[in-house]
Structures are given as C-alpha cells and as structure tokens.
Chains A and B, each alone.
Chain A
Amino acid sequence: MSAGIEAGALPAAVPAPVSGTSSSDASAARRGGHGLDRLRGPVLALLVPAALGLVWQFATAGRPYSLIPPPAEVWQELRDLAVGGINDDAFSGTLWTHLSASLGRVYGGFALAAAAALPLGLLIGRVPLVRALLDPLLQILRPIPVTAWLPLAMILFGLGPRSALFLVFLGAFYPILVNTVFGVRSVEPRLFEAASMLGCTGPAQFVRVVLPAALPSIFTGLRLGLGFAWVVIVVGEMTGVQTGLGAIIMEARQLSRTEIVICGMAVIGVAGFVSDWLVMMLGRRLLAWSPSHG
C-alpha cells in the first residue's frame, strides 16, 4: 500500500498540481462575497462525508456482529480518549500524550529533513560539481520506498522512537530536495545577470536571488514533505514504540478495539489537514508576489 502511494506521489514533485489547487482556493475565497455564496463551499464539502456517515450508521447500528462499530460509539470513544471519565480503561484520556508524541516526531523529522534538504537542494541546483557528486546517488536512493528502510532503521536505531524519527526524516527529505532542486534550476538566467550587474555576485546571490526565486517550488516541496511525514509516522510508530498515534492504532487492533483504531485514524486525518493548512497559509503570506499564489 505505501509503496503505491510513494510511487504515485513522488513524481508529483512537479509543483503545478499543488500550486493550481491553492490558487483556485484563493480565488474561491475572494469570490465569496455574499452570505449564501460563502456557505456554498462548506455545504458542498460536507455533503459527501455526511452521506458516507449515514451509510456507516445504517450499515452498523444495532447489529451485534458488525466488524465496524457505529459512528456514535466511535464518537464516545473519542471523547473518552480525549478527556476520560467514560470507560476508565488504559486508553482513557491518553489522546494528548499520543498526539503530542506523534506531533513531536512529525515536526522534528520534518524540521531535520528541511534543514538538510534545503541547503543541499540549493547547492545541487546551482553548483555543477555538487550536482555531479550527489545527484546520481540520490537518484538511485530515491526510488527506495520509505517502508523498505524500516528493517534497516530498526537495525541501526533499534526498536523505538528514533527509528520512527528517522523514517519521517527520510519521507519528508526527498519531496523537499527534489522540489528545491527543480526550483533552483528553473530560476531565469536573466535574474542572475540582473543581480550581477547591480553588484550582487557570488554567494550573496544564493540569499538574494536563488532562494526567493525558488521559494514557490520550495513551498510545494515543504507541503508534500509534511504530508509524507504524516504518512510515514504511522508506519514508524507501529514498530515497538509505546506512544504515538501509530502505536495506539496497533495496540487497539491487537485488543480488537476497532473504535479506537478509527479514532486514531480520524485524529491523524485532522492533524495532517491542520498542519498542511498552516504551511499553506504561511506560503500565501510569503508568496504574495507570485501571480499563481498570492
């Protein structure tokens, strides 16, 4: 499953689809003038989930042997996970511990990946010697799915959170790197000429020309990278980690607590959505100059 996702999403390093989405979002927001028009988007967005929820309810409620618990039961479990006081079992009130453990790994691994991939991408994109040295190696390593690194990660880092962190790092690293290199290599040569005749030469061009010019592409990479971090975290946490959303899902499965499995999935969905939204908002602020973003 994850191999399929990776195969599909890594080539999506080309920024067009993502930036296309964000610009259409932006124009939709600008159009929303009147009250009714403004409600149209959210109403349409909720229609399909509501229908699916109904199907879920009718297919499961009141059937003793259903494999999937009905929505109300999942909702009650979610409240118990969050604040406790309903079931009073080992899971009650533990959601925040797991969520913060996962958040720490996702953002920790993501930050490490960005810190490594950004400078490396700038250098590979701009310095022919670095490109000749590193590009072939990275091209060979890139098709290896993150999940294939799992056994090696366990050998290197042991069972535990460090393996999970390493996998998140790997998952976020390549989208950021590939998009940074792409962005740097697509900088118009004219801008380097303009900078140098204005007195900005050598390494100063990295900061004043390369980085800002490549920023739209870099942001696409950061969004994809953070998305991958959330994909990978669950895989990473399913191997001998005590806390984390992936860990709670696996543990609940072993105890046949399907409602907790579903709660964990839902929380990951919401957390991933919110973090993507934050990056997008940041990007919109920083890229106000770009006709296809701002």
Chain B
Amino acid sequence: MAEPTIPILDLRAVSKTYAAQGRITEALRGASLTVARGEFVCLLGASGCGKSTLLRIAAGFEAPSSGAALMWGKPIPGPGPSRGMVFQDYGLFPWLSVRDNIGFGPKSRGRPAAEVRETAARYIDLVGLQKFADAYPHQLSGGMKQRVAIARVLANEAEVVLMDEPFGALDAMTRERLQDELLDLWARTGLTVLFVTHAIEEAIFLADRVVMMSPGPGRIEAVHAIDLPRRRDVSSPAFNDLRRMLAAQLHSHHAPKAA
C-alpha cells in the first residue's frame, strides 16, 4: 500500500483518565495508531478495552488526557464534518424525514437549498432508500436506520467514517448485508474507515488491519494486517486460521483475571 507522507489520522501515545466520584479510572493508556487515507481499520476488543474511547477521541467528542490526536498532522479541535460518526443507536433526528436527516449536514454548513436536496437525493439512491425518502426514523427498521446514518455522514463529505459497533444491534442477516454494502461503498468511494467491534469475524471480514485492544487499562495489544483477498469467504481455511489466532489472543487477555 502506498503510504502518503502524512497519515489522515495519527494518534500518538493517547491516554484517557476519567475522574468520577473521587475515583480515577484509566480508560486508555499510551495508544498509538496511524491510519492511512483509504484504509479500513477495525478496533477489536472486549468491553472496557478503551476501543470506543479511542474512537471518541478521534471524533473529537473527547480530548486525550495526554498524548495527541492529529488529523492530517493537525490537532483535532473537536467534533466536525470531516470525521463523521455512525453510532450503534443511530442518533438520527426523529423529527426529520430520511431526506432531511441526510441533508442535515450540508444544510448546517450553509449549502444552498437546491444543492442540499440534490445531495440528499444522491445519497438516498446510494443506500437504496428511495421508497423511504419521506419516512420518519420511527417508521424504519434498524438496518434502514443505519443506512440513513451512514448516508448522512457520506452526504456531509466526511473524509473519515468512525463507526462505533454500528451493526451490533441488528439481526444476523441484516448485519451481513450491511457489512457487504459497507465494503461496497468503501470500495467505490475511497473512504477511510475506523470501525469498532467486539466480533472477531466482523473484524476479519471487513478490515485491512485489525487493531487488538485489551482492558485494564485499555491499550493496544497488537496490530494484524489481513491479507485475504476480498470478498472474503468466512468459511475458508485461511479465514478460520486467522479467527483462531485472534480468538486465542483475545482470550489470553482475560486469562489472568479468570485465574
């Protein structure tokens, strides 16, 4: 892979501690990660490993307690349109139709109304929700809501899409279909994706690189490049070897605690 001189995301020795009710919790210790433009990176780990914290720092929702979070070499000042976030619970605006949810970003950034409509229509097409353009979120299934959430971020010209267990609340069939759709979008648009999951198979199926994280305090344990050709066959021997290897590593993190 041709590595550009400056990575799109550069997280340098990022730590995060929270102080709540007199107790200090260390959520993340010394996590370093660079993401190249166009890369698909999964953060994989059990709960409490700090993967969501790392993602929220990249989004700008939280500032690191120490270390630095950079985009194109500049510190991330706070949440902004260049880093779009897709939440597990969708975070759609219930009072806006599908069309207006997708147009929310462009409208917020002062684009003319005609352009907002045109952009929204284009991304409604992209995620195949033409028939539901005027529906409200409560009328949609979970899978459709998540398509809206993805389209909303893409319509806003996000350079990086940050996804926090986006398919975790969906049933297995919907999840597989959306994984395929996401890879298809990613291949067509040249997006950069940072994707949090606790499902080993999902990480191997999607990612260029899988970042293994472990809890107590949260830190990056290992980074694995996944070299399998796409579209990946989840039942192939190579896929299974990877799955076994990652599972062993993931579970070894828990061993000391279980003993």
Which 9 pairs from chain A and chain B are nearest by CB? A200-B108, A194-B91, A198-B105, A199-B81, A196-B79, A197-B79, A212-B95, A289-B136, A199-B108
Beyond A190-B91, A291-B138, whether A197 also contacts B83 by CB under 8 A is: yes
Encode A283-294 as 1/0 by CB contact (under 8 A) with B: 000001111000
| Number of residues from A at the complex interface, CB < 8 A | 22
B87 interface contact, C-beta 8 A: yes
Q: Which of B56-72 contact A (CB under 8 A)?
A: 59-61
Contact B81 A198 (CB under 8 A): yes
Contact B87 A190 (CB under 8 A): yes
A188 to chain B: closest residue by CB: B91
How many pairs of residues, A versus B, come closer than 8 Å at their CB atoms?
73
Q: Show 21 A/B contacts (Cβ-Cβ < 8 Å), sorted by A.
A: A193-B61, A194-B92, A194-B93, A195-B104, A196-B80, A197-B60, A197-B81, A197-B83, A197-B85, A198-B104, A199-B105, A200-B105, A200-B108, A212-B93, A288-B136, A289-B94, A289-B95, A289-B96, A289-B97, A289-B136, A290-B95
A12 to chain B, nearest CB (A): 24
B168 interface contact, C-beta 8 A: no
Q: Which of B92, B95, B108, B136 contacts A204 (CB 8 A)?
A: B108
Chain A at the B interface: mostly helix, strand, loop or mixed?
helix
Beyond A204-B108, A289-B136, A291-B138, whether A196 also contacts B78 by CB under 8 A is: yes
Contact A194 B85 (CB under 8 A): yes
B112 to chain A, nearest CB (A): 15
* Interfacial residues, chain B to chain A (CB-CB below 8 A): 59-61, 78-81, 83-85, 87, 89, 91-97, 104-105, 108-109, 136, 138, 152-153, 156
Q: Return chain B residues, CB-CB under 8 Å to A208.
A: 104, 108
Contact A198 B87 (CB under 8 A): no
A191, B94: Cα distance in complex, Å: 10
A159 interface contact, C-beta 8 A: no
Q: Which of A236-294 contact B (CB under 8 A)?
A: 288-291
Q: Return chain A residues, CB-CB under 8 Å to B93.
A: 191, 194-195, 209, 212-213
Q: Return chain B residues, CB-CB under 8 Å to A201.
A: 78-79
A196, B76: Cα distance in complex, Å: 14
Given contact pairs A198-B84, A208-B108, enumerate 14 new A-B contacts (beta carbons under 8 Å): A190-B87, A193-B87, A194-B85, A194-B91, A197-B80, A197-B153, A200-B104, A200-B105, A201-B79, A208-B104, A209-B93, A289-B95, A289-B136, A290-B138
A73 to chain B, nearest CB (A): 52
Contact A193 B108 (CB under 8 A): no
Q: Which of B94, B97, B104, B156 contacts A290 (CB 8 A)?
A: B94
B10 to chain A, nearest CB (A): 19
Encode A159-199 as 1/0 by CB contact (under 8 A) with B: 00000000000000000000000000000101101111111
Contact A198 B138 (CB under 8 A): no
A196 to chain B, nearest CB (A): 4
Contact B85 A199 (CB under 8 A): no
